[in-house]
């Protein structure tokens, strides 16, 4: 188990290094530099270039960048003067984190219950409704869900706040837009693996022992059917985080996603690099944790990692 | 299961000689054996949902090519006298804020989205087959090194690569395709690798070796044709995710740019106006949903068709 964790951890570090190198050189490959402006006098431009260390040789800049990165210093934003990238990220990520965490919890709870109910009532009306819901959830893009619910439920009916993130009510619409797809996916995963598990011999034994149906589905069925859902947790986190980029734009949440799209349109290179690396770290750790979770839930995995 | 059969048909008394009757032979006959392809086609045609989705997709692809035959307008032409015309007359889907015909824009969007989706999927398949094939077939050190490289590449989120490449190469359809392929081929390579590893110890590979075939010939002539099933399934399911990525990025303003028509661009354009003129959102979003739905259902159907566990009903 420890060897498994160690290997995965090493992989993450390697990937981050590759990504940092890739982003660095891709950014430098773009023609021009951020201070190329007709109006700026040459002397001032040179001073700026020297200030940001852009006058040095490329390999020197790269080494300096990596050195700073190791110390957690992501540089200074070009377009929001006076703020370091780290400051921007730590301020805005709080919003994204709150929204994302709520969306993840909601997706898992609703998705698993939907899938379970639909497996228990296999081929009955409830199951058919659940299947239709999950197919729709997979096919309707989150930005369409977000703008339509914002208009009808927020602006027309005035039931819920239209934008921003203050107060628990304002979480409902963005969370719905973010979790629609993961809910649908988790429901499908749970349903199909639950159907498979429910035909297993130990379920028959449990029934023969006279356990109540609810106890059988929860204790014997769900525990085994949940495995595919656990593996999906990593990709789901990625999904919700990338989804939050667009949902934050629509609901005007001052989160990290907003800053990311703005930094791309503004060509604010240090900010782009910083946020890219930050996202990558989060996504990789989410996948890492999901893998560990999987190893802990799946007894077969435990055995093979112990032996090897 | 065996118990049930024995109960139904008692064993003959061993002391008495009873010749087998004709129906006994008939019962022991095996189910007819089909090739994988034949079986998959049978299962797919039996699946009404998947067939329906397939027909919708075929119609969509055909319409995306021949739509100019049906309308006098083109997707770029602006007519400022006819802004926000409701659907009807020669504007079947109405017009947008610049008086552009939404019918031709929607189908032009279908063209772009389908091109992105299908080209990305095809490129994924080609790269995935070559590299996955090499990994699976040669194994050992080659596999180890390539596996490490793909693992590292895979852990980089695709959206970041798309956005970074967009910054560097300029935003547009081909940047999108390149970026989607840059991360998409890995999944395909792993699937091919797994399949080849299962297949390479089969007798026909040994036979081919005995006949003096070289490694690459065996790989491309004997092994890869036998892995086509899972490859096609993965490919059909890659298309909707590529289409979604295109729409998502264009919506954010990071993909295809505005005078060009793509569903994502059109949905973004409609954001300011659809509350009053709902058709500006309805048609592009509706077509996007239908395309994703159809690809997903068709892909699921294909997966079931190639899955040995499901049966023809």
- Read off the tokens for B278: 């709902």
Out of A108-112, A168-172, B214-218, the most confident range is: A108-112
- Cβ atoms of B299 and B233 within 8 Å: the answer is yes
Q: What is the CATH number of the domain that holds A285?
A: 1.10.3720.10
pLDDT, one tens digit per residue, over A188-225 is: 888 888 888 888 888 888 888 888 888 888 878 887 78
Q: CB distance from B182 to chain A under 8 Å?
A: no
Q: Do both A174 and A274 map to the same domain?
A: yes
pLDDT of residue B23: 65
The C-alpha R_g of chain B, in whole angstroms, comes to: 27
Q: Indicate whether A139 and A24 sit together in one domain.
A: no
CA distance A255 to A97: 8
| Residue A294 counted as domain residue | yes
Angle at A98 between CA A95 and CA A103, to 5 degrees: 125
Q: Do B267 and A283 touch (CB under 8 A)?
A: no
Q: How far apart are CA B300 and CA A133, in angstroms?
A: 16
Separation between Cα atoms, residue A56 and residue A77, nearest integer Å: 19
Whether A182 and A284 map to the same domain: the answer is yes
Give dist(CA B310, CA B313) in Å, integer: 9
Distance CA B264, CA B257 (A): 10
Q: How many domains does chain A have?
A: 2
Contact with chain B for residue A151, Cβ under 8 A: yes
The Cα A275–Cα A90 span in angstroms is 10
The answer to whether B246 touches B262, Cβ cutoff 8 Å, is yes
Rounded to two decimals, the pTM is: 0.76
Torsion of CA A12, A17, A22, A24, to 10 degrees: 130
Residue A84 placed within a domain: no
User: Is residue B282 within 8 angstroms of chain A, CB to CB?
Assistant: no
* Choices 3.20.190.10, 3.40.50.10860, 2.40.50.140, 1.10.3720.10: CATH for B56-67+94-306: 1.10.3720.10
Span between the terminal Cα atoms of chain A, in Å: 9
Asked if the structure places residue A2 within a domain, the reply is: no
Mean pLDDT score of chain A: 79
B299 in contact with chain A, both atoms CB, cutoff 8 A: no
Highest mean pLDDT (candidates A77-86, A131-140, B49-58)? B49-58
Q: Are residues A49 and A193 in the same domain?
A: no
A104 and A253 co-located in one domain: yes
In a domain? residue A99:
yes
Q: What is the pLDDT of residue A109?
A: 92
Shortest Cα distance, chain A CAs vs residue B66, angstroms:
25
Which 8-state DSSP code applies to residue B150?
H
- Tell me the shortest Cα–Cα distance from A15 to chain B, in angstroms: 5
In the predicted model, is pLDDT for residue A304 greater than 60?
no
Interchain CB distance below 8 Å, B296 and A139: yes
CA torsion B300-B303-B304-B309 (nearest 10°) is -150
Quick one: A191 and A50 in the same domain?
A: no
pLDDT over threshold 80, residue B144: yes
Note whether residue A6 is domain-resident.
no
pLDDT of residue A31: 63
Task: Kindly indicate the confidence band of residue A303, based on its pLDDT and cuts at 50, 70 and 90.
Answer: very low
Closest chain A C-alpha to B1 CA, distance in angstroms:
13
Q: pLDDT tier at A106 (50, 70, 90 boundaries)? A: very high
Asked if A11's CB is within 8 angstroms of B152's CB, the reply is: yes
Mutation pick from A26, A141, A248, A268 vs chain B, by most beta carbons of B within 10 Å, is A141
Distance CA B168, CA B182 (A): 15
Judge if A46 and A190 occupy the same domain: no
**Chain mean position to CA B192:** 16
Residues 6+ apart with CB under 8 A from B90: B71, B72, B73
CA A71 to chain centre: 25
ipTM score over 0.90, yes or no: no
Q: Name chain B contacts of A18, Cβ cutoff 8 Å.
A: 152-153, 156
Helix (H, G, I), strand (E, B) or coil at B88: strand
Cα A2 to its chain centre, rounded Å, is: 26
**Cβ within 8 Å, pair B167-A267:** yes
Interface probe, candidates A8, A10, A16, A19, chain B, greatest B C-beta count within 10 A: A19
Per-residue confidence band for A39, with pLDDT thresholds at 50, 70 and 90:
low
| Residue in B156, B289, B292 closest to A280 by CB | B156
> Smallest CA–CA separation between B106 and chain A, in Å?
16
Between B52 and B259, residue with greater pLDDT: B52
User: Domain locations in chain B?
Assistant: 56-67+94-306
Is A196 at the interface with chain B, CB within 8 A?
no
Q: Which domain holds residue A140?
A: 95-307
Query: What count of other Cβ atoms lies within 10 Å of the Cβ of residue B134?
Result: 20
Same domain, A52 and A176: no
Kindly indicate the confidence band of residue A117, based on its pLDDT and cuts at 50, 70 and 90. Answer: confident
Question: pLDDT tens across B245-272, in order?
Answer: 888 888 887 777 777 778 888 888 887 7
Of A26, A141, A260, the CB nearest to B288: A141
Domain co-membership, A33 together with A112: no
């Amino acid at each position: 188990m420890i060897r498994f964790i160690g290997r995965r951890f090493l992989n993450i570090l390697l990937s981050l290094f590759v990504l940092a190198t890739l982003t660095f050189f891709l950014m430098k490959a773009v023609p021009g530099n951020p201070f190329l402006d007709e109006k700026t006098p040459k002397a001032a431009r040179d001073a700026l270039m020297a200030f940001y260390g852009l006058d040095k040789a490329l390999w020197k800049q790269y080494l300096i960048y990596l050195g700073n990165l190791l110390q957690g210093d992501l540089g200074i934003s070009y377009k929001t003067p006076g703020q370091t990238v780290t400051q921007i990220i730590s301020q805005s990520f709080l919003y994204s984190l709150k929204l994302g965490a709520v969306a993840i919890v909601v997706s898992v709870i609703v998705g698993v219950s939907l899938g379970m109910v639909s497996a228990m009532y296999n081929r009955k009306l409830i199951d058919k409704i659940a299947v239709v819901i999950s197919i729709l959830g997979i096919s309707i893009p989150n930005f369409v869900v977000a703008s339509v619910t914002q208009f009808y439920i927020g602006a027309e009916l005035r039931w819920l706040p239209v934008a921003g993130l203050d107060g628990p009510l304002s979480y409902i619409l963005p969370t719905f837009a973010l979790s629609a797809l993961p809910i649908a996916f988790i429901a499908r995963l749970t349903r199909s693996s639950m159907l498979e598990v429910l035909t297993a011999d130990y379920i028959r034994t449990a029934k023969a022992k006279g356990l109540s149906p609810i106890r059988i589905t929860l204790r014997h069925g769900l525990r085994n059917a949940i495995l595919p859902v656990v593996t999906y947790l990593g990709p789901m986190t990625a999904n919700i985080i990338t989804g939050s980029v667009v949902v934050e734009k629509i609901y005007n949440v001052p989160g990290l996603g907003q800053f990311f799209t703005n930094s791309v349109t503004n060509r604010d290179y240090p900010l782009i690099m910083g946020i890219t690396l930050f996202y990558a770290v989060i996504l990789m750790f989410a996948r890492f944790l999901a893998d560990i979770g999987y190893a802990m839930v799946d007894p077969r995995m435990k055995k093979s990692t112990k032996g090897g | 299961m065996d118990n049930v059969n024995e109960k139904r048909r008692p064993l003959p008394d061993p002391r008495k000689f009873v010749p087998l009757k004709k129906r006994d032979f008939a019962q022991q006959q095996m189910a007819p054996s089909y090739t994988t392809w034949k079986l998959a086609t049978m299962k797919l045609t039996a699946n009404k949902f998947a067939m329906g989705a397939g027909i919708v997709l075929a119609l969509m692809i055909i319409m995306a090519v021949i739509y100019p035959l049906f309308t006098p307008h083109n997707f770029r032409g602006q007519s400022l006298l006819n802004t926000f015309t409701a659907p009807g007359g020669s504007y079947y889907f109405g017009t947008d804020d610049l008086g552009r015909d939404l019918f031709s824009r929607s189908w032009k969007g279908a063209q772009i989205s389908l091109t992105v989706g299908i080209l990305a999927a095809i490129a994924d398949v080609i790269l995935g087959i070559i590299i996955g094939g090499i990994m699976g077939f040669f194994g050992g050190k080659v596999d180890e090194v390539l596996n490490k490289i793909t693992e590292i590449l895979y852990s980089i989120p695709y959206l970041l690569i798309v956005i970074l490449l967009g910054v560097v190469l300029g935003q547009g359809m081909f940047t999108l395709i390149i970026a989607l392929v840059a991360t998409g081929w890995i999944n395909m390579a792993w699937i091919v690798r797994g399949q080849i590893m299962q297949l390479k110890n089969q007798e026909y590979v040994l036979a081919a070796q005995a006949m003096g075939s070289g490694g690459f010939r065996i790989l491309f002539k004997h092994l890869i044709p036998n892995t086509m099933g899972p490859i096609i399934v993965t490919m059909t399911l890659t298309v909707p995710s590529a289409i979604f990525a295109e729409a998502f990025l264009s919506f954010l303003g990071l993909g295809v740019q505005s005078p060009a028509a793509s569903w994502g661009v059109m949905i973004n354009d409609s954001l300011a106006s659809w509350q009053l003129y709902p058709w500006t959102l309805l048609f592009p979003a509706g077509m996007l949903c239908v395309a994703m739905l159809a690809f997903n259902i068709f892909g699921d159907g294909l997966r079931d068709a190639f899955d040995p566990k499901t049966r023809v009903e």
